[in-house]
Structure 1
Amino acid sequence: MNLLAHAYLSLQDPEILLGNMLGDDVKGKQIHLYPPKVRIGIQLHRYIDSFTDQHRLTTEARDIYRPYIGLYSGAIMDISLDYFLATDPAVNSQAMWQHFAQWAYQSLEAQISWHTGGFKRYFPYLRKENWFVHYAQKPFIENAMANLLKRVGRPDGTAMVLKSFEQHHDYLKEVYGQFFPQLADYVQLKAAALITNPI
């Protein structure tokens, strides 16, 4: 669910960006149906998810949500991390996020024939509602959390999840601050390896 992180960590390459966006929809050997750089993006998506899901900082932080939504705490944590990425002045100003978002939407639109699965369904909303910029707005993030929990049949946990997000804001921001630079370094290493030794 951490769409902004996947997009931002796509090395400013349109094809790698597409692969990173399709990552959840491409299973196993289906990766070989795509062009080389798109395959790199798909594999980077898998690396990002694995690193995030297994990292000590994020697994511990998910505990603030887990009592209310169980296994879906990981997806909510991803949305939380995207909020802090979008509001991190050390990464981008809001003007630069606007520029990045327009580049990303245009790049993805130009490759629309490759869109598939869930991404094909939600890309029009991603662009129309300017998700990559609006991740910096707390009401947008809270609405994203509520909509996710509604989709997975756990709307009963919404109130406590939103309350926990607010109450633990400073802690979650600290987790992001420690975690994201490690993720970015990891992605750079994996991307370099994939470019040298393509899938």
Structure 2
Amino acid sequence: MNWLAHLFLSEKNVESRLGNLLADLVKGSARQNLNFGIQRGIQCHTFVDKFTDCHSIVRCSKGRISQEYRRFAGILVDVFYDYFLASNWSVYSNIPLDEFTDQIYKSFQAYPGQLPAPVRAILNRMAAEDWLGSYRNLAGVENTMRRISHRLSMRLSKPFTLNLAVSELIAHERDLENDFREFFPELLVQTQNWHLA
């Protein structure tokens, strides 16, 4: 699951939602400075990732990715599943996608608590470019892959062009969507149970 799904699955408060994003942006000891609500969101993100990564349907989806991109199959499937969530949004939510994303962006911008400056910059860019809403089309998926490629390139000091892997989504769209439709209701139930625990 990528950021749209993590936000959809989080508890419905700004700190939980921030935590679900900051899990990817703030690592190690820097997390100790974050408040309880944000840390609970990080824990939710971790739960969702573990459940997703171990699931047989998700493994099947990863197996559909060609050898050329197999090393990044987990990343690709996460983003592709967000595409299917956005494309089928009304199946899972009574709130229109644009309204949901607008609420998220506004709550992040209005959040009065302390956040690292680079995180604030990412949140502002996310809203300005509507990263969450863009998952509903292939161009948005490609742009997401371009941003991930940039992060990987910076971290590993070598160039990546995962945006070209949108071809994998096009080639396997029907099968991947069937995987998503079978898997996502299970993830919803498991995450709701986690919130109640």
**Residue 169 of structure 1 aligns with which residue?**
173
Could you tell me which amino acid in structure 1 is paired with residue 178 of structure 2?
E
TM-superposed deviation, 1:42: 1.1
TM superposition score normalised by structure 1: 0.83
CA deviation string 1:145-177 (max 9, x = no partner): 24433543332x654x22221011001101110
Structure 1 runs of 4+ with >6 Å offset: none
> Equivalent residue of 1:11, what SS?
coil
**Pairs within 5 Å for 1:81-160:** 81-88=81-88, 89-92=90-93, 96-111=96-111, 113-116=113-116, 119-152=119-152, 153-155=159-161, 158-159=163-164
2:42 counterpart of 1:38: no
1:23–1:56: structure 2 CA closer, same or farther, 3 Å change rule?
A: same
CA RMSD in angstroms, aligned pairs only: 2.3
- Give the unaligned 5+ runs of structure 2: 153-158
Secondary structure of the 1:82 match is helix
Stretches of structure 1 that go unaligned for 5 or more consecutive residues are: 194-199
Per the TM alignment, residue 113 of structure 1 is displaced from its structure 2 partner at its CA by 4.3
Relative contact order higher in (CA < 8 Å, ≥ 6 apart): 1
Aligned residue pairs: how many?
190
For 2:71 and 2:163, locate their aligned partners in 1 and report how far apart those are by CA, in whole Å.
14
Deviations 1:109-157 (A, max 9, x none): 12264333864442122100112212112211123224433543332x6
Give per-residue Cα distances to partners, 1:83-107, cap 9 Å, x unaligned: 00011131247x7111111111111
The aligned counterpart of 1:196 is none
Q: Does 1:5 align with 2:5?
A: yes
1:184 and 2:188 are equivalent in the alignment: yes
Q: Mark the CA change 1:158 to 1:68 in structure 2 (over 3 Å): closer, same or farther.
A: farther
Q: d(CA) in 2 for partners of 1:30 and 1:127?
A: 24
1:20-67: per-residue Cα shift (whole Å, max 9, x none)? 111123445654433322221110011111111121111221123351
TM-score by length of structure 2 reads: 0.84
Aligned partners of 1:164, 1:185: CA distance in 2, in Å?
29
